Structure 1
Amino acid sequence: MQKVDVVVVGGGVAGLTAAIYAAKAGKQTMLIEKQDRLGGRAISNKKKGAYFNLGAHALYTGDAYATFRELGLTLQGKQPTNDAYGIWKGKLNTLPSDMKSLFTTPLLSWKGKMEFASCLTKLIKMDTRRFDQISVREWVEGNLRDPMVRNVFYSLLRAASYVVGPDLPAAGPVLKQLQNALKGVLYLDRGWGELIEELRKKASDLGVRLVTNTKVSSIDTRGGIVRQVICEDGTKIDTQHVVLATSPLIANQLVPFAEETSLHTWKEQAIEITAACLDVALKRLPNPKQQFAYGIDQTVLLTNQSRAAYLSDDGAQVISLIKYQGKETDSDKDLHELEGVLDLMQPGWREELIVKQYLPKITVCHDFMHMKRLENPGPAVPEIQGLYVAGEWASHGEVLVDAATASAKRVIQHMLALEGKEWNAFNEHRGII
């Protein structure tokens, strides 16, 4: 039998962040990860000298960036240039990213250019929370008149959220993510695996016990109170606090009678977002000018992250492509479309190919703030004392990795605030305060 103050189940960004902040608060903390390495969907794979993330990853100037800086992480990498193309009717067109490209792009009429510039200027200072209760489509159709400006904004907002359909996402969070992107985006040297290694070291230095290759089978919550974490190998850990940094589905499976708790609601309302991701390492770029493109009438994105980050030991160019997916997916068709985008942007790329990685359907997020949501998950499971949830799906207005770090910090803040109330109530009872 083992005993700790806090057990974190899941070793991705949310789990590591929760464990670190729990340890910083003086809690004896254990993190349990079922895989043989930490990181979840933020791991990086090295193939023939090239560093591949699990799909294109970019760190926006949001909660995660601020959190990692607060923790003292180095975050080595650079911001990419803003030069971009838009794919429209099978052709490349300059996408407005600065004053010069705004006035020279053939995509927009003169009136459209003025509207686009005006909207971006307003977005920078906008209080996006005003639009949390309407969809992306409602915001676009209600605020933009020019049809092509609408198309371009749909493309930008899709890239910010990874969600194909504009009727589902709440506009506020996605506009906030685009707002963050305008402040700067960071591509990380050697991929996000370096970030995970820094988080792992930080947790270890703070005394967090990191356990990998171990699967939790259930959480003992008899009487509505967290009591034990039980692992498949028979290990039992006594604890008062459990943070489930897992998917909502797994969280439900780990908790007996979860259908009687908010965990059930959070699982039922969850809408998973997936993407097909193709990464290639090329000996050189056939067309060095064309390194970043948004699909306007295609749900795709291409970025050469090597233009800003060290992603190869031998100077290869690492390009990431994304196909944002809806309910229906077709692995072969998605690959063909992504390779077609590469043909358009980098004709002759196959002759330069060193190695590639294709992920036909990877989970981007298990849930997000959408118009069908009944409530925002966490940080606490109200029916069970000491049980918490964290992850990109436990969003209260943040998007993707920002939701992972923000939800993890909410858990620890809630835990400490509750303990403070209990301590004050105890002292009041004793007549101390």
Structure 2
Amino acid sequence: MKYDVAVAGGGIAGLTAAIYAAKAGKRTIVMEKRERLGGRAVTDKINGAYFNLGGHALYFGDAQTTFRELGVRLQGNQPSTEALGIWKGKVSTFPMGIGSLLGTPLLSLKGKVELAGWLAKFGKLDMRAYDRMSLREWMEHSVHDPMVRHIFYSLLRTASFAAAPDLQAAGPVLQQLKNALQGVLYLDRGWGTMIDELTRIALEHGVQIATSSKVISVGHRGGAVRHLLCEDGTQAEASHIILAMPPAAAYRLVPQAEATALHTWKEQAIEITTACLDVALRRLPKPKQQFAYGIDQTVFLSNQSRAAYLSDDGAQVISLLKYQGTDPNPQQDLLELEQTLDLVQPGWRSELVEKRFLPRMTVCHDFMHMKRVESPGPAVPEIAGLYVAGEWATHGEMLVDAATASAKRAVQHILSHKDTGRAPNHEHRDAI
């Protein structure tokens, strides 16, 4: 089998890269080790309820722009921003607008004035100015009232799905919050519908898709890629190969990877994880309490059914997240999430239809952090024709926006024939 572009990995990044390559006239194949495409964007239908792999929300960033450009049909709605804040074991109105700001008991008058000022100017800030300082540094320098800081931290955790303020570069996280404040989209029947749409478009453009095809090696010789080798002996020859997979997995596939940038990218990568609890309830014991930020806890709750069709029988699908640190405790995390449900939806157990707990879900395999040496990709400069894509190959974007942006960077690099030696990457953002 001979191709212009071979993509290893059939998640959002891999499918996006394949579509753009095919649209440019390249003969393209996607090879996915699992039986179905999607990676962490799959949706499982369990007892009539549609469960993503933890809470998923589509922000107004690169991914939405990319999907519109490709003609992806996404059904869903924007949820209300009315929210609760959990502070010292109690729920209170969370300040998300003028009315809730005036009515919340969480802030003093001085704090309300400061937060009102931030709400007025936040959307006008150039977040790139804060790329080289940590989120903690930005917060200590910019926000004065202690409770306003707590509220900002809770918003930024939710926007970035991470609780790592000493590591996170401030600029990308602040930009992510700026995107989130424009509204988010919850998708009908979950993110699996997005994968179905990307698959449809890929096939329409002639992309060949091979599932249950586990790539075990990237063949390269004379400083250039030659083929992908699968576990069953299948070999796909290609002049360009895109590895749309985690950095450690990409490193393992490439012989002599220790002498390439893949080694640096693997070594600098810091994984972000969450504990995820999804429940389907016949009804909500507290119908007005559907969205809650943890303020003194790193938890988050959202009834995604308030905006999207997520159950065939009318059940309410609630997603809860516990943003984890470096030493997660699955039993303790589940207890905290269930206690959050007890607080926001007391009596939920008697309404339970289905429940799923994922103790350690990867949010991203790397991000813009203060220990980063360089921004990964799109090209592996020591091996001509080899590229990387995925949410970890970010140049400042986050989460699914990084997946789509990195995929496009890889294809743009292929089309412009820039794979000539290793050099600092200035296409988007430099590394910290």
TM bucket normalised to smaller: over 0.9
Letter matched to residue 306 of structure 1: S
Other-structure match for 1:203: 202
For the 8 Å contact 2:413–2:419, the answer to whether it is kept is no
**Which residue number in structure 2 is paired with residue 43 of structure 1?**
42
| Structure 1 residue 420 displacement after superposition | 11
Matched, 1:178 2:186: no
CA separation of 1:419/1:329 partners in 2, compared to 1, >3 Å: closer, same or farther? closer
User: Separation in 1 of the partners of 2:4 and 2:418?
Assistant: 12
- State the TM-score, normalized to the length of structure 1: 0.96
User: Helix, strand or coil for the counterpart of 1:218?
Assistant: strand
Structure 1 residues 151 and 420: CA distance shift in structure 2, 3 A: closer
Q: Map 1:408-427 to 2 at 5 A.
A: 408-418=407-417
Within 5 Å, give how 1:24-423 maps onto structure 2. Answer: 24-418=23-417
Distance in 1 of aligned mates of 2:355 and 2:12: 25
Q: In the alignment, what sits opposite 2:428?
A: none
The equivalent residue for 1:426 is none
Any idea what SS the aligned residue of 1:183 has? Answer: coil
- What code does the residue aligned with 2:213 have? T
Determine the structure 2 residue equivalent to 1:428.
none
Tell me the secondary structure at the aligned position of residue 354 of structure 2.
Answer: strand
Per-residue deviation at 1:331?
1.1
Corresponding residue number in structure 1 for 2:423: none
CA positional deviation for 1:371 = 0.4
Q: Supply the distance in 1 between the matched residues of 2:60 and 2:105 (Cα, whole angstroms).
A: 30
Q: How big is each residue's C-alpha offset from its partner over 1:291-337, in whole Å with a ceiling of 9 and x where there is no partner?
A: 00010110000000000000000110000000000111111111111
Unaligned runs of 5+ in 1: 422-433
Give secondary structure in 2 for the equivalent of 1:226.
Answer: strand
- State the 1:165 CA deviation: 2.2
Give the CA deviation at 1:70: 0.7
Question: TM-score, normalized by length of structure 2?
Answer: 0.96
Please state how far the C-alpha of 1:222 moved relative to its aligned partner: 1.4
In structure 1, what is the Cα distance between the partners aligned to 2:70 and 2:357? 33
What's 1:430 paired with?
Answer: none
> Cα 1:419–1:257, aligned 2, differ >3 Å: closer, same or farther?
closer
Alignment partner of 1:397: what SS? coil
Please give the alpha-carbon distance, in whole angstroms, between the structure 1 residues aligned to 2:419 and 2:283: 58
Shift of 1:122: 1.7
| Contact map agreement 2:20 2:411 (CA 8 A) in 1 | yes
Q: Deviations over 1:236-274 (max 9, x none)?
A: 111100000000000000000101000000000000011
Measure the CA separation in 2 of the matches of 1:185 and 1:311.
Answer: 16
Give the aligned length. 420
Identify the residue that residue 424 of structure 1 maps to in structure 2: none
In the alignment, residue 234 of structure 2 is paired with which amino acid?
A: T
Gaps of 5+ in 2: 421-432
Q: Take 2:419 and 2:3, find their aligned partners in 1: how far apart are those partners?
A: 19
Partner Cα separation in structure 2 for residue 221 and residue 155 of structure 1? 46
The aligned counterpart of 2:8 is 9
Give the conservation status (yes or no) of the 8 Å contact 2:9–2:243.
yes
Q: Distance in 1 between matches of 2:47 and 2:85?
A: 31
Aligned partner of 2:426 in structure 1 is: none
1:91 CA displacement: 0.6
In structure 2, what residue type is equivalent to 1:86?
G
1:12 partner letter: G
What is the CA–CA distance in structure 2 between the aligned matches of 1:184 and 1:93, rounded to whole Å?
A: 22
Distance in 2 separating the partners of 1:329 and 1:31 = 34
What whole-Å deviation, never above 9, does each CA across 1:378-420 have from its counterpart, x for those lacking one? 0000111000000000000000000000000001111111179
Tell me, in whole angstroms, the C-alpha distance in 2 between the residues paired with 1:246 and 1:51: 25
Partner Cα separation in structure 1 for residue 172 and residue 354 of structure 2? 36
Q: Distance in 2 between matches of 1:243 and 1:90?
A: 48
3-state DSSP class of the match of 1:286?
coil
Q: Could you give the per-residue CA deviations for residues 340-390 of structure 1, whole angstroms, max 9, x where no partner exists?
A: 000000000000000011100111100000000000000000111000000
Contact 2:385 2:419 in 1 (8 A): no
Q: Give how far 1:224 is off.
A: 1.2
The one-letter code sitting in structure 2 at the alignment partner of 1:149 is V
Task: Tell me the alpha carbon deviations over residues 65-90 of structure 1, each in whole angstroms, 9 at most, x when there is no partner.
Answer: 11011111121000000100111111
CA distance in 1, matches of 2:114, 2:223: 55
Paired with 2:205 and 2:351, the residues of 1 have a C-alpha distance of 45
Structure-2 separation of matches of 1:242 and 1:170: 30
CA–CA separation in structure 1 for the residues paired with 2:123 and 2:392: 26
Instruction: Percent identity, please.
Output: 66
**Mapped partners of 1:165, 1:49: distance in 2:** 36
The 8 Å contact of residues 35 and 211 in structure 2, kept in 1 or not, is answered as yes
Alpha-carbon distance in structure 1 between the residues aligned to 2:300 and 2:270: 22
C-alpha deviation, 1:97, in angstroms = 1.1
- Kept in 1: contact 2:76–2:309 (CA 8 A): yes
